[in-house]
Amino acid sequence: MTLTRTAFIRKAPSPEPKLRTRKCSLKGCRERFVQKSLMHRGCCPEHAIMIVQEEKARKDRKERQEGLQKIKRRADYLKEAQAALNAWIRSRDAELPCISCGRHHTGQYHAGHFLARGSHPHLALVEDNLAKQCMPCNVHLSGNQLEFKKGLIARIGLERVEALESDQTPRKYSIEELQAIKAHYRAKLKQLQEAAK
């Protein structure tokens, strides 16, 4: 039997497998550690437990929000749309004084309705019907309507105020329309806030 030269060549030892390192997934901890498996995401057992608890809490929050979304009524969507519009009105008029008394002060401001939501629900989400109003005028003086009208005429003109007073167009918004109104005014508020920076 003849031995070939290749029979005596030793195989080189296989290289050590490269250890994969990653950062700890726990918020606030960025400690690097050697990852032993794809499920290994914490630098120590305590952090691994905390990561699992955070994920469970996040999942529970998501499920709760989805559950609330399913039982929401049209009135809830209307409330959210009104809140988005009110926030935009207060931001839009931030530099202006109260529409009714014409003063600047450090107290609380509301988005006051010229024609009240109770008697004119169809105008609740009409921009011309709202303006920044101080809390004393809006709450204690029931909107201070006469002065509100004078201030509104000065801002948007008599023609638009009269059109608002004679507007009897029924507005029964669908849930989709209310969601669109909310998204619209949130986007406008974001634009104002970014422009103010």
Q: Which residues of the chain form beta strands (DSSP E)?
A: 21-23, 32-34, 109-113, 130-134
Is residue 63 scored above 60 in pLDDT? yes
Is residue 7 scored above 60 in pLDDT? no
The DSSP string of 127-187 is GGGEEEEEHIIIIITTT-HHHHHHHHHHHH-HHHHHHHHH--------HHHHHHHHHHHHH
User: 149 and 128 in one domain?
Assistant: yes
User: 153 and 65 in one domain?
Assistant: no
8 falls within a domain:
no
Q: Regarding predicted confidence, which is higher, 49 or 2?
A: 49
Torsion angle, alpha carbons of 128, 133, 135, 136, to 10 = -110
Three-state DSSP class for residue 20: coil
Which tens digits make up the pLDDT trace of 36-60?
877 888 888 898 888 889 999 999 9
End-to-end Cα separation, the chain, in angstroms = 88
Quote the domain boundaries for residue 60. Answer: 21-71
Which range (33-47, 53-67, 69-83) has the least confidence? 33-47
Instruction: Enter the tokens of residue 163.
Output: 């059109």
The confidence band for 91, taking pLDDT boundaries of 50, 70 and 90, is very high
Mean per-residue pLDDT, 102-127: 94
Residue 33 confidence (pLDDT): 84
The confidence band for 70, taking pLDDT boundaries of 50, 70 and 90, is confident
Q: Please choose, from the candidates 49, 13, 18, 56, the residue with its C-alpha nearest in 3D space to the C-alpha of residue 35.
A: 18
User: 169 and 100 in one domain?
Assistant: yes
Residue 43 confidence (pLDDT): 86
Residue type, 150: K
CA-CA-CA-CA torsion sign (58, 62, 64, 65): positive
Residue 69 confidence (pLDDT): 77
11 falls within a domain:
no
Is residue 11 scored above 80 in pLDDT? no
Residue 4 confidence (pLDDT): 55
User: 79 and 51 in one domain?
Assistant: no
Mean per-residue pLDDT, 160-166: 96
| pTM of the complete model beyond 0.85 | no
Cβ-Cβ contacts under 8 Å for 32 (sequence gap 6 or more): 21, 22, 23, 24, 43
Give me the long-range contacts of 107-110 (CB less than 8 A, separation at least 24): 107/134, 107/135, 107/136, 108/134, 108/135, 109/133, 109/134, 109/135, 110/86, 110/134, 110/135, 110/138, 110/139
Q: Return phi, psi of residue 20, to 5°.
A: -90, 125
User: 57 and 29 in one domain?
Assistant: yes
User: 35 and 82 in one domain?
Assistant: no
User: 176 and 99 in one domain?
Assistant: yes
